[in-house]
Structure 1
């Protein structure tokens, strides 16, 4: 069997395994941030989390399959390991960038939610008070 095919199989197995592991880790730990951003709406947090995971899979597995092809001929074990290290290194960098992007977006959403909660008064207004007159006094009733 050609060593290039062996390299492809090993590359796909490791890359897809890493993608699944990172996606599960992001899903499990990112759900807490999403629930906080969505003010405790658990169903919506689960739905958004699931959509993010699906998008993560699509982007990363798409990249892995596009990056599969190799122009180099793999003749021996040394070349096999060198080709795999370059390909897996690039996949790991892409996964890392995707992870940092997800964390950045979730943190930005969380901060926006915190700022909105700070601006919302804890109690709704209960009534209306007339503004004071020019010298700081109000007209007496009936005057």
Structure 2
């Protein structure tokens, strides 16, 4: 068997295994994070989590498939290891960047949600006794203050 094909097979096995492992880890641990971001809405957290996992798989599997091609011919064991380290290194970097991007985006949503929960409703302005409008101070029926 051609060593280039062996390199492709090993690359696919390792990169697919890594993608599945990372996706399952992110899904399992990210669910808790999403539930917090979505104010405890478990059903919505599960739906968003599933959509994120599907998107993660699509992008990573597409990248793995596109990056499979290698223009060089591998003639020895050293070439197999060099091709694998180059290709797997790029796949790992892409997985890491995608993970950091997801965490960054979710953290922004979480911070916005925390700020929304902590905001005190605005206090209406205090009006003067003779002013008209919704901001005016209440006047007693007898005209006194």
What's the TM-score once normalised by structure 1's chain length? 0.87
Aligned residue in 2 for 1:83: 83
1:29-68, aligned counterparts within 5 Å? 29-68=29-68
Deviation at 1:33, TM superposition (A): 1.4
Are residues 57 and 120 of structure 1, via their aligned partners in 2, closer, same or farther at CA, if it must alter by over 3 Å?
farther
**Please, which of 129, 134, 139 is the counterpart of residue 133 of structure 1?**
129
Q: Aligned pair count?
A: 136
2:140, 2:120 → 1: CA distance?
34
Aligned residue in 2 for 1:107: 107
What's the TM-score once normalised by structure 2's chain length? 0.86
Deviation at 1:139, TM superposition (A): 5.0
- 8 A Cα contact 1:132 1:138, kept in partner: no
Aligned residue in 1 for 2:2: 2
Where do 5+ consecutive residues of structure 1 fail to align? 122-127
Are residues 139 and 31 of structure 1, via their aligned partners in 2, closer, same or farther at CA, if it must alter by over 3 Å?
closer
Where do 5+ consecutive residues of structure 2 fail to align? 131-136
SS of equivalent residue, structure 2 residue 68 = coil
1:23, 1:142 → 2: CA distance?
71
Moved over 3 A (4+): 137-141
